[in-house]
């Protein structure tokens, strides 16, 4: 019986190899997907598929359209990456065969997306025409179209789209100043809840890693808006109001980004709009506990998975620099310049290393997070976003 089992496995592997040849791809050894990811090559409309166990690039996948602000989502099993592009393209990429298996043009301009708790539905946020469209992750068939028509009767850009517990998506309407949540437990009878007093120009949002809160940053005023996702009937409330009071606002060359990665323990680290500071708030009281002066206008403030450090990069013209904040002391403990055009950072799942894209120098670099030494340099054409498949199992990413 043991011999027959081994023979069956060998026959299965041979069949898979033959199938791969028939499909036009090389027969590669079987592997898992837990250490895979992608680097967005924005200039060429392509992806580099990577693995972070040995820090290597595996293959290039072309033909993905305008990737100037592309984001990547991952299927529940980590095999497929879904790419949302500026041209409204939604592409499904097989990370094991390095092929585009499906692609649809779903809008005029999309900026990001999220996948539902059960992995069945993929929501895409659109600038043009403004709204959210929800697709079947298997087929990319559109299942729901939600135009973002605010209380003012006008379409708004949708920003800050995130997945939330209970088969829901939550997002903000930039011009209308609203927050919406759509329950897709029954996709045929989806329920939309709206809060119309979210503040002036919400520009992005995050869901905390435990799925408890949605926080929207405000571009039109100093402050943020908080929605308790566990108790949405309580409505929304303003937090961190007037955090730049008494200071003259500085020019904003690039919108800061908010994601659940800004959470470290019971504190959340948020890039200030128009100020060279990272704001630290206590998530139990949602009051400011510190504001940390930083090198320039922060774009990403990303907590290492263990919450011990927060890495910060900056907008043009200071986008050659990274600072590292020590969470216990709330002080900058490291500043270095990897190169021109630092666009994105992505920690390995347990945080021992971080990948950094250098758009203007056509390369990606990998650093250790304990001693800040560089361990790898990899070529990439105008790299921007870096996304690992481990995101598939995290709320709000």
CATH topology classification for 106-251: Methylamine Dehydrogenase; Chain H (2.130.10)
Q: In this predicted model, what pLDDT tens digit does every residue of 1-19 receive, in sequence order?
A: 444 444 444 444 444 444 4
Specify the pTM.
Answer: 0.90
The answer on pLDDT for 319 being more than 50 is yes
Tell me which DSSP letter residue 149 carries. Answer: B
Distance CA 50, CA 200 (A): 40
Average pLDDT over residues 308-321: 96
Cβ–Cβ < 8 Å for 82, 65? no
pLDDT of residue 383: 97
Q: In this predicted model, what pLDDT tens digit does every residue of 253-311 receive, in sequence order?
A: 666 777 767 899 899 999 988 889 999 999 999 999 999 999 999 999 999 999 999 99
Average pLDDT over residues 164-184: 97
- Ranges of H-type helices in 23-173: none
pLDDT of residue 254: 66
Farthest-apart Cα atoms in the chain, separation: 79
The answer on pLDDT for 47 being more than 70 is yes
Average pLDDT over residues 14-35: 62
Q: Which distant-in-sequence residues (6+ apart) come within 8 Å of 29 by Cβ?
A: none
129 cis-preceded (ω within 30 degrees of 0): yes
- Enumerate the domain spans of the chain: 106-251
The answer on pLDDT for 26 being more than 70 is no
Q: In this predicted model, what pLDDT tens digit does every residue of 356-374 receive, in sequence order?
A: 999 999 999 999 999 999 9
The answer on pLDDT for 20 being more than 50 is no
pLDDT of residue 18: 43
CA nearest 14: which of 27, 5, 31, 32?
27
* Helix/strand/coil for 6: helix
The answer on pLDDT for 93 being more than 60 is yes
The CA-atom distances, in angstroms, between 352 and each of 56, 143, 190 are: 16, 40, 41
Measured in whole angstroms, the distance separating CA 357 from the mean position of its chain's CA atoms is 15
Q: Which distant-in-sequence residues (6+ apart) come within 8 Å of 328 by Cβ?
A: 308
pLDDT of residue 28: 63
Q: Which distant-in-sequence residues (6+ apart) come within 8 Å of 130 by Cβ?
A: 147, 148, 155, 156, 157, 158
């Amino acid at each position: 019986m043991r011999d027959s089992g081994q023979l069956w496995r060998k026959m299965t592997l041979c069949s898979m190899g033959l199938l791969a040849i028939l499909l036009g791809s090389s027969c590669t050894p079987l592997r898992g997907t837990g250490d895979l990811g992608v680097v967005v090559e924005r200039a060429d409309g392509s992806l580099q598929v990577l693995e972070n166990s040995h820090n290597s690039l595996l293959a290039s996948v072309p033909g993905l359209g305008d990737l100037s602000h592309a984001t990547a989502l991952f299927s529940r099993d980590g095999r497929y990456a879904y790419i949302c592009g500026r041209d409204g393209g939604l592409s499904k990429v097989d990370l094991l065969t390095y092929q585009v298996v499906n692609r649809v043009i779903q809008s005029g301009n999309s900026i990001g997306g999220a996948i539902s708790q059960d992995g069945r539905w993929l929501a895409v946020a659109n600038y043009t025409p403004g709204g959210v469209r929800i697709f079947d992750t298997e087929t990319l068939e559109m299942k729901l179209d939600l135009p973002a028509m605010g209380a003012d009767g006008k379409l708004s850009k949708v920003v800050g789209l995130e997945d939330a517990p209970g088969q829901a998506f939550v997002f903000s309407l930039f011009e209308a100043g609203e927050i919406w949540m759509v329950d897709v437990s029954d996709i045929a009878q989806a329920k939309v809840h709206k809060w119309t007093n979210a503040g002036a120009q919400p520009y992005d949002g995050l869901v905390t890693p435990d799925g408890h809160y949605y926080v929207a940053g405000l571009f039109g005023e100093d402050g943020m808006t908080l929605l308790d996702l566990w108790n949405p009937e309580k409505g929304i409330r303003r937090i961190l109001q007037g955090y730049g009071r008494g200071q003259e606002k500085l020019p904003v060359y690039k919108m800061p980004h908010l994601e659940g990665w800004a959470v470290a323990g019971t504190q959340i680290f948020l890039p200030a709009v128009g100020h060279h500071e990272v704001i630290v708030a206590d998530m139990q009281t949602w009051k400011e506990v510190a504001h940390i002066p930083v090198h320039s206008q922060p774009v990403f403030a990303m907590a290492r998975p263990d919450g011990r450090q927060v890495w910060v990069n900056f907008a043009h013209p200071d986008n050659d620099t990274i600072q590292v904040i020590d969470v216990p002391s709330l002080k900058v403990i490291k500043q270095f310049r990897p190169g021109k055009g630092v666009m994105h950072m992505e920690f390995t799942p347990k945080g021992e290393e971080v990948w950094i894209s250098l758009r203007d120098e056509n390369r990606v670099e990998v650093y250790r997070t304990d001693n800040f030494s560089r361990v790898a340099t990899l070529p990439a054409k105008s790299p921007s976003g870096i996304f690992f498949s481990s995101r598939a199992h995290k709320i709000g990413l």
